[in-house]
Copies of this chain bind each other. A is one copy, B any other.
Amino acid sequence: MRQLKLNRAFTLIEPGPVVLVTTHDGRKNNVMTISWTMVVDFTPVFAITTGEWNHSFAALRKHRECVIAVPTVDLLDEVVGIGTCSGAAMDKFARFRLTPVRGKIVKAPLIKECLANIECRVIDIVKKHDIVVLEGVAAHVDAAREERRTIHAVGDGTFIVDGRRLNRRKMMTSKIPQGV
């Protein structure tokens, strides 16, 4: 995986793909499927909605680190599988044949099979709304990957695959951060 400039990392999350979030509890890796994500700042800062109902939350709260991994459509069944079982009962990396890769900064693993990975630190937990605020500290992309279409969870058990891409860069010049 190639490093991606941090000022471009928000472009991985802004389109709203379903993501995998990895944690490390000091002993073992875990991974959860999260569709409720949001960019909060270009720097980048992200928000995810999670709480006690996810087994990963304890490691996230204690170690204050995670990796947001962006899967593509060929991983849909893994994404759904990871989202419908608990890391309390099994090693999800082994169960879904995902390869943990050591990151540059955090102890939570990157996922080799994913299109992109963003190493993050927890900068705040807004308990009242179960919102965890994350700062991206390093980003990686698999530039060689052929399948690059991400997937968008609808929430009713269906998923929308990325279709064509339209360009409005000229109209948007004033709004695009420098270098993006």
Contact = CB atoms under 8 A, between A and B. Distances in A.
Interface stretch (A20-28, A107-115, A168-176): A168-176
Contacts of A14: 35-36, 152-155
Q: How extensive is the interface on chain A, given as a class?
A: 35 or more
A158 to B, nearest CB: 5
Interface stretch (A62-70, A76-84, A90-98, A137-145): A76-84
Given A14-B153, A15-B153, A165-B160, A171 B40 contact: no
Interface in A122-174: 124, 126, 128-131, 133, 149, 151-174
- State the majority secondary structure of interface residues on A: mixed
A39 interface: yes
Contacts of A80: 168, 171-172
A156 to B, nearest CB: 5
Interface string A28-63: 000000011111111001011100000000000000
